[in-house]
Amino acid sequence: MLNRPINNLLKKLGSKIIPLVLAVFSVILMVTMLTSVVQKSVDYKEGQVASESIRANKTIENKAETTQKRQLAAEAVTPEYTYQADLAQTQHDRISQLISLIQKSNGELDKSYQSKASQAKDGEKIPQPTVDERVAAVKKGFEGLDQDTVTFYQQLPDDFYQAIVQLSATDLDKLETGSLRLVDEQMAKRIRQSDLEEYKQQAIDKIQELNLSETASLAARYLLEEGIIVNDSLNQKRTDELKEQASESVQPVMIYQGEVIVREGSQIDANAINKLKLLGLTSSSTSIFPMIAMVLAAILQGVLLWFYSRQFEVEFQRLRFILFYSASMTIGVFIMKILQAFQGSSSTNLALFFPAAFVPLILTVFVNRRAGALAAVFQTVFALFIYYNAIGTNILPVILMTYLFSGTLAVMVKQRRLSDQVKQASLWIIAFPIAWGIILTIYQGLSFADSQTWGMLLGAFAASMLSFIMGMGLQPYIELLVTDSSVITLNELSNPNHPLLKQLLEEAPGTYHHSMMVANLSANAVAEIGGRSLLTRVACYYHDIGKIRHANFFVENLPTGAENPHNFLLPEDSKQIIFGHVIEGAKILKEYKMPQMVIDICYQHHGTTLMKYFYIKAKERNAETTEAEFRYPGPKPQTREAGVVNIADSCEAAVRAMDHPSLDKITEFVHSLIEERISDGQLDDSGLTLKEIRIVEKSLISGLSSTFHSRIKYPRMQSEAEKMKEEQEKKGEA
């Protein structure tokens, strides 16, 4: 339908039309996507009243609140303490050992003094041991003790030692008994660093109950100060581990896309400002970089389209490809833009309902796979700009990957009618994209109990189904626009009430029936080799339409008993009439604006074969006559369909004229004719392979045999016929 307008454009504008179409196409895309990438200037301040509800433009972690909550969780951990019950006995033993050491050193000094005094001469005065000597004697006894015990004794001040060495043995015993009782009493409790002084003071307050001398009380005080120690100490390592566990157990505080930060009419407080800063919404101006990137992407697509279109040899094919691609991609971008306009915070998955497989699918079917792949890529690129506001969110990668995956898989569909490959097409367009949607869901760690998860899966399913339904339902109508041989057109042309077919039936009935037979034979054979069966059938209906100009000069239209008019003509004149049905037929078909392939088959159904009968007659009259003069103008069949029609047309006419055709005779004739056409080079340009030619041969033999060969009379049928004849004779006698 669009072929003639395209040709008219080419005639008017010439080669300038392609750059013009690409420029207009790019501008349309830029204008469509512009509103998506233009950013609004905003400047929010604390205390300002929001004129509209401010929502988060992306999903992001609020790291400040997360840190605060984790710190609070760590601070709420109860410290871990380690209770050392054995320290009570250790301290008891150390005090007891110290008292024993003092008693021993005092005893030894006193004994030495007594010994010296008894041995002293008359008048000689032996000095008694001084306090310092006694202290020194006690400390000398530390030499054989362990380091921890020595450290404990060294912590006691000199005042303690000077006081305790002056005590009598009785006072020392009372000091030891009382001090140990008070130390044991306190050390039996759990003493932490924070409670240590309290427990010491409790013990010191009880010293007066021991009835000790002032010096002994001072020594007891020192012993309690050093003897009562912490036995329930903080386990810092374990406590730190517990704090770390508590901190890590706190989930990150997230700001989710679409979450209301400030409601309309509410004042923007400090907390809201912090969130807006985190989202980058406090103060932003329009950035030209997204717009520049969008423009460059549109230009890049135009350059790639122009470069790719150079692969088409004919200017018409280039322009048709670019127009078809531009229209398809524009429709796809418009649909994306509509979905983006309706997508809000409550419908973030709406973009997944886009039929991403549709545009690559129709380009694959009507152009080629590379065109479909190009559309799948740029469809995803333009989605990046259309859903620009979703940048930084989790949904954008899902959208882009879904579009790219669905579009790429659509390219895998065979370049045939979808109705002829429903199962395979449904796998590529529906099943596999849905499987990919499930994989994306699992990758994101989404729960299948969450409604958002099922929203994503529903979007993937709906988009795939929509792509398949649109491709299946719109394919005939797209064919009607971009080709002249759509199913709708061919169905109309196959209607017996078409004016040309009615005229053919009325003026050349023999040719009409011949055309119907050739149509059946050719369509069946083409179907078996995977060709365009319906188009072949229609082309056969009209392939001999030129015979209506001189219907009686073709033997199939002669009345019974009529003499062949070629008997009265020269071979050269007969040749022109016979050749004329091809040229006249193509001319008639062009007047009726028939599909180009129907016209081509009309031209090619005889190829450049030799008109043998008239050639031989002309040769008899003129020996210098050449074969070239009596060959059809052609061209040779250029398609598989035309090649099949070329063979079927000759086979049907010959078998129809055959006397008593049998299966063997038909088989031999069809095989020899095909071999002749091959050796004559008539099928060289058709694209038929030898395997396909054998399939066609078998199909033609089957079709011709079932129609023309003589039936065998079975015995039962013969006896019934004879019986019927006898009955008729009896009735005649009666």
Which residues are registered as beta bridge partners of 610? 631
N residues, the chain: 734
Q: What do you get for the CA distance between the two ends of the chain, in Å?
A: 72
What is residue 502's predicted lDDT score, i.e. its pLDDT?
A: 93
What is residue 471's predicted lDDT score, i.e. its pLDDT?
A: 86
What is residue 255's predicted lDDT score, i.e. its pLDDT?
A: 80
Cβ proximity of 535 and 595 under 8 Å:
yes
- Residues 166-195: what's their mean pLDDT? 89
pLDDT at 724 over 70: no
Which residues are registered as beta bridge partners of 81? 234
DSSP category for residue 431: I
Residue 700: name the closest of 629, 628, 623, 645 by CA.
Answer: 645
Collapsed DSSP state (helix, strand, coil) of residue 714: coil
pLDDT band at 1 (very low <50, low <70, confident <90, very high): low
What is residue 712's predicted lDDT score, i.e. its pLDDT?
A: 41
What is residue 586's predicted lDDT score, i.e. its pLDDT?
A: 92
pLDDT at 715 over 80: no
pLDDT, mean over the chain: 84
pLDDT tens digits for range 522-547: 999 999 998 889 999 999 999 999 99
Lowest mean pLDDT among 175-184, 271-280, 396-405, 514-523: 271-280
pLDDT band at 49 (very low <50, low <70, confident <90, very high): confident
pLDDT tens digits for range 584-608: 999 999 998 898 899 999 999 999 9
Helix (H) or strand (E) holding 262: strand 260-262
What is residue 647's predicted lDDT score, i.e. its pLDDT?
A: 95
In whole angstroms, give the CA distance from residue 729 to residue 731. 5
- Residues 641-667: what's their mean pLDDT? 90
> Who has greater pLDDT, 456 or 521?
521
Q: Is the dihedral of CA 507, 510, 511, 516 positive or negative?
A: positive
Give phi and psi for 384, each to the nearest 5: -60, -40
pLDDT at 719 over 60: no
Most confidently modeled of 87-96, 282-291, 436-445?
Answer: 87-96
pLDDT at 617 over 90: no
Whole-prediction pTM: 0.60
What is residue 6's predicted lDDT score, i.e. its pLDDT?
A: 67
What is residue 648's predicted lDDT score, i.e. its pLDDT?
A: 94
Question: One-letter amino acid identity for 205?
Answer: D
- Residues 356-385: what's their mean pLDDT? 91
Collapsed DSSP state (helix, strand, coil) of residue 234: strand
What is residue 623's predicted lDDT score, i.e. its pLDDT?
A: 85
What is residue 459's predicted lDDT score, i.e. its pLDDT?
A: 80
What is residue 729's predicted lDDT score, i.e. its pLDDT?
A: 58
Helix (H) or strand (E) holding 404: helix 395-410
What is residue 656's predicted lDDT score, i.e. its pLDDT?
A: 86
pLDDT band at 674 (very low <50, low <70, confident <90, very high): very high
Most confidently modeled of 105-119, 286-300, 668-682, 709-723?
Answer: 668-682
pLDDT at 271 over 90: no
Question: One-letter amino acid identity for 220?
Answer: A
pLDDT band at 286 (very low <50, low <70, confident <90, very high): low
Helix (H) or strand (E) holding 561: none
pLDDT band at 711 (very low <50, low <70, confident <90, very high): very low
pLDDT tens digits for range 3-15: 667 667 667 777 7
Helix (H) or strand (E) holding 275: helix 270-279
What is residue 649's predicted lDDT score, i.e. its pLDDT?
A: 92
Which residues are registered as beta bridge partners of 254? 61
The CATH class of the 498-715 domain is: mainly alpha
pLDDT at 126 over 60: yes
What is residue 257's predicted lDDT score, i.e. its pLDDT?
A: 65
pLDDT band at 162 (very low <50, low <70, confident <90, very high): confident
pLDDT tens digits for range 308-350: 888 887 787 888 888 889 999 999 999 999 888 877 544 567 8
Most confidently modeled of 422-436, 680-694, 706-720?
Answer: 680-694
What is residue 718's predicted lDDT score, i.e. its pLDDT?
A: 47
